[in-house]
């Protein structure tokens, strides 16, 4: 009896290479630019260290209306504070790469969420998170 199938031993290296190309690369530490030495560490990678630095701050400029009856735009800056949970690198056939950061974002819209201490340091309460995916408003 002749078998017209290809042996799995021959296919296995090709399958491994194909899976490695298609799956995103997950990292605990990401080095952004080797000349500038920008390193990003996840919360889990620094859990046993004495000093921890896995915080993220995003300062965004927004334009919106002051009220529903107002026709003039109001510009302002909004700061978001987060903890870096995961780093995923997408490699598009070695032509370009996209790095995605997964964060837990703190709710800083209330007085209990953020405050400045006597030395000017910003203290953020991460026991109240926003955009956790639990509510309908969290969806993009």
pLDDT single digits (tens) 21-57: 556 667 777 767 655 667 778 888 888 888 778 888 8
Establish if 138 belongs to a structural domain: no
Q: Does a structural domain hold residue 122?
A: yes
Domain tally, the chain: 1
Confirm whether 2 is domain-assigned. no
- Count the residues in the chain: 140
Judge whether 4 lies within some domain.
no
In a domain, 14, yes or no: no
pTM above 0.75, yes or no: no
For 79-131, the pLDDT digits (tens) are: 889 998 988 888 887 788 888 888 899 988 888 888 889 999 989 999 988 88
Note whether residue 71 is domain-resident.
yes
Output the CA torsion sign for 19, 43, 127, 129.
negative
- Pairing mode of beta strands 122-124, 114-116: antiparallel
Q: Does a structural domain hold residue 1?
A: no
Domain-embedded: residue 8: no
Phi, psi of 69 (to 5 degrees): -90, -10
Question: How many Cβ atoms from other residues are within 10 Å of residue 42's Cβ?
Answer: 21
Supply the range of the domain harboring residue 125: 26-130
């Amino acid at each position: 009896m002749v078998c017209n199938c290809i042996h799995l031993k021959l296919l296995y290296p090709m399958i491994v290479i194909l899976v490695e190309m298609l799956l995103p690369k997950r990292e605990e530490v990401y080095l952004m630019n080797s000349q500038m030495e920008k390193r990003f560490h996840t919360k889990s990678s620094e859990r046993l260290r004495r000093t921890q630095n896995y915080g993220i701050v995003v300062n965004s400029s927004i334009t919106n209306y002051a009220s529903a009856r107002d026709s003039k735009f109001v510009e302002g800056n909004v700061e978001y504070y987060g903890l870096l949970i995961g780093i995923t690198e997408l490699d598009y056939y070695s032509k370009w790469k996209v790095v995605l950061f997964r964060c837990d974002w703190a709710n800083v819209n209330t007085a209990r969420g953020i405050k400045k201490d006597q030395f000017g340091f910003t203290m953020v309460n991460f026991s109240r998170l926003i955009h956790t995916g639990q509510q309908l408003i969290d969806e993009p």
